[in-house]
Structure 1
């Protein structure tokens, strides 16, 4: 169980970091090219959300294959674990997006 929670926490923070880091760097770039930083940051956060999830779970189709194989073989525990890893990554990406939305709230 400890390994599961460690991996789940890592997936959460990787997805969170991808959204926050990408949005902040997009804001820096938008300032350099004289675009509105807040709207660029918010738009980037929304577009990065799905890619943050993909990056957190490994960036390949392997987690989906693990789910498919284990469900077909009748082993539900590994399939549920993979689904929970995806859910934790989603929550990380969503929390990152909401933080960016909160930061940009006053600027828009």
Structure 2
């Protein structure tokens, strides 16, 4: 039984989805714990740092807008650089294949 469990553990760890699944589970558990702590513990933190915690819905909307805009910008830059790179690499590979074929025919 222990051998089967060890084999299953090794197979799970070698899976591509193991680490992301563990990270999601840890995030869900951490979210539940932090929400529970936030609901039960009353800390006077809002009065101590009003600029950090007193922004409300408008501040959250502005932050989300900035993050989403930057993510779209990064995705656009990445995808716009992928197309020329793949086109250049495909032409290089065809040149390399033709020169290799010539060398192979000579020898």
Instruction: Compute the TM-score of the two structures, normalised by the length of structure 2.
Output: 0.31
**Larger RCO: 1 or 2 (CA < 8 Å, sep 6+):** 1
Instruction: Compute the TM-score of the two structures, normalised by the length of structure 1.
Output: 0.30
Over alpha carbons, which structure has the higher Rg? 2
